[in-house]
Chain A
Amino acid sequence: MHEYRFHQVLLILIVLFVATIPPGEVQAGEELNCLICHKHRGLSRIDENGKFRLFYINNELFESGPHRRNNCQDCHTDIVRIPHDPAKKVDCTQQCHVVEPSGKARFSHKPIAETLAMSVHGKLDAEGKPKKYQEDYPGCKDCHDQPLYRPLSVFKGEPRSGISERSISRCKSCHRTGNFAEDFYEHVTSRLRKGRFPLETIEVCAKCHQNPGFLERHELDDAVTTYEETFHGKLIKLGSERTPDCLDCHVVEGENTHLIEAKTVPTSATNKANVGNTCRASDCHKKASAQLASFQTHVTYEREKYPMQFYMLMFFKALMAVILYFFLTMIFFELMRRLFPAFAFFKESKADDTDTRPALKDREQ
């Protein structure tokens, strides 16, 4: 009996293991055949800090991601043979093996990193000294949260963008070799549309800017919740894509998205001198005057910071309380009066009420 159950469990385990081996050919990392190990969904370990690390590479996600034309080693440069030692963290600013076609130089994300360093999100202050709470400042992956970097989430039904088959078929009638048409199409069209849905952008910013610990450390107001209180935030929640998200106001029009500057910086999109132009940018408040700039977006309703909003809110709350409590109490007592309709402490008799003109009687009161 006991042994029988053991065999049963073993069989189930084997079936489960076989079932979880992904089908399809090995494509990524051809040069070292990395997927021979990394295709297994269970490939993981607990690292020195006790953190669970998953080393599974979802090839389907890799093939649909922006880095699909890179080899593993282009980013993981410290790996030269397999089996390999624990790999270092990837440095996105290093030169990779892709040649940038316009200048024929090797490609690198370094200029983006330099822009980010100049922005409010850079790790160093204006004098080059490290800012407090270094670990709170974002690196590439904190915002560019690709599904590939969290390969399990794809099994939870996360949406992914895809290629329009009808469009690509027109490219493929000439560009037949390899995956050139798909890659070029993705590369160009991803820059023609908004990179993310507004809700996704807000979610990315909210990871820090709605995090209570983070807000307290940096003495910041909750930028996301206050934004969600505005018509901008509410319309986006209701599915609008023509309403501004964080980036539309915090990046100067036409500027690199990575250059978000503090409002104290003179060139910042949210600097007092520039807000007017930011509101009037593109197809937003084109006809507005620069006076629109004194609109306050991130209102916390604190008395010291936003006295007008605080007192107006108090006024309306008080008015609502007085009116509704008065009438709802009355309705309550009116319903209670119906429990014992004929009862009264002091009864007026109908015999005393023979006057057919009580209206006139009441008026003389």
Chain B
Amino acid sequence: MSKYDPIVYKDGKRYFYRFSAHQRIQHVVLFSSVLLLALTGFPLRHADEAWAKPLYAALGGPEVAPTIHRVAGSVLLVLFVYHTIYWIVKFIKNDLGKLKKENRLTLGTGIKAFFTQEMVPNKKDWYDIIHLWKYLLYFTNRPPRHERMSWREKFDYFAPYWGVPILGPAGAVLWWRDEVSHILPGWVLNAAYIMHTDEALLAILFLFFVHWYNVHYAPEKFPAAKVWLTGYLSEDEMIHEHYAHYVQVMIEAGLEEEIQQQHFGGEHYEW
């Protein structure tokens, strides 16, 4: 864990650690496979549209594109399983290991450690959503103070945990339809078809509108956030998006004197 310094300095500016190289590579594999899946899947879903045939032909047409789709799907499924194992191992090694070292490991503290992990939703997220709406409707000029993971990032993070278990098995059933028919009746393919195509539409719309708003379209992010490449957030971004975490990191680094105030509405928009 301590491989990465929580704060690094470059050109006299502070940068705050966010994602390890290991996590960044997982993200690249994730979005590459999802983009390939979308490119080879949506022309088929919308075969009636004028763009469908040329796009499908560019990706190899009916002879090749399904293979690309299946390879990308397999990669995504493997990544999904890998990441889940990675998460469990990390939890056991870091969180439970720490408790054991301190001789405090019981069932109660173990469960508590599980639910206080940074990506697990908690009560503060609920307050943050309410506070955000207060801010958006002009009832306050102070934006919410997020922890290391804001509720939006948690939603983005857990979206694949809903999408992949639906898309993956349905896709596998459609892929091995002949073999599956020895175990399951044919109408399962009707169900798999709806699950696969409609959940795919939800996933892609969410990614292209909501996730891409968060990291691409939002005026302060446009054209793209850099954290997925560098793994570090600038001090401004940190204050803007994760103020609670920012204060905590600064205190832990012994920089309590240099903590800057939170940006209120109207302050610090670089656009």
Q: List residues of chain A with CB under 8 Å of any chain B CB.
A: 228, 230-231, 233-235, 237-240, 242-243, 285-289, 291-296, 299, 308-309, 312-313, 316-317, 319-320, 323-324, 327-328, 330-331, 333-334, 336-338, 340-348, 350, 353, 356-359, 362-363, 365
Contact = CB atoms under 8 A, between A and B. Distances in A.
B79 to A, nearest CB: 23
B194 A243 contact: no
B80 interface: no
Given A289-B181, A320-B205, A327-B206, A234 B47 contact: yes
22 contacts: A235-B62, A237-B53, A238-B44, A238-B47, A239-B62, A240-B61, A309-B190, A327-B206, A328-B210, A330-B132, A331-B210, A340-B138, A342-B264, A343-B138, A344-B265, A348-B141, A353-B142, A353-B262, A356-B247, A356-B259, A359-B243, A359-B247
A312 B43 CA distance: 22
A296 B179 CA distance: 18
B30 interface: no
Contacts of B140: 344, 346-348
B179 to A, nearest CB: 7
Secondary structure type dominating chain B contacts: helix
A358 B144 CA distance: 11
Contact of B190 (A235, A285, A308, A346): A308
Given A238-B62, A291-B184, A338-B219, A231 B136 contact: no
A51 B55 CA distance: 44
B240 interface: no
Contacts of B194: 309, 312-313, 316
Interface string B237-262: 00000011101100100001001011
B213 interface: yes
B209 A362 contact: no
Interface in B187-245: 187, 189-191, 193-195, 198-199, 201-202, 205-206, 209-210, 213, 218-219, 243-245
B205 A333 contact: no
B9 interface: no
Contacts of B205: 320, 324
Given A308-B191, A348-B141, A363-B124, A238 B43 contact: yes
A356 B258 CA distance: 10
A308 B256 CA distance: 60
Given A238-B56, A343-B138, A292 B181 contact: yes
Contacts of A233: 47
B137 interface: yes
Given A296-B187, A313-B198, A347 B141 contact: yes
Interface centre among B45, B61, B62 (most CB of A within 10 A): B62
A285 B127 CA distance: 54
B95 interface: no
Nearest to A229: B193
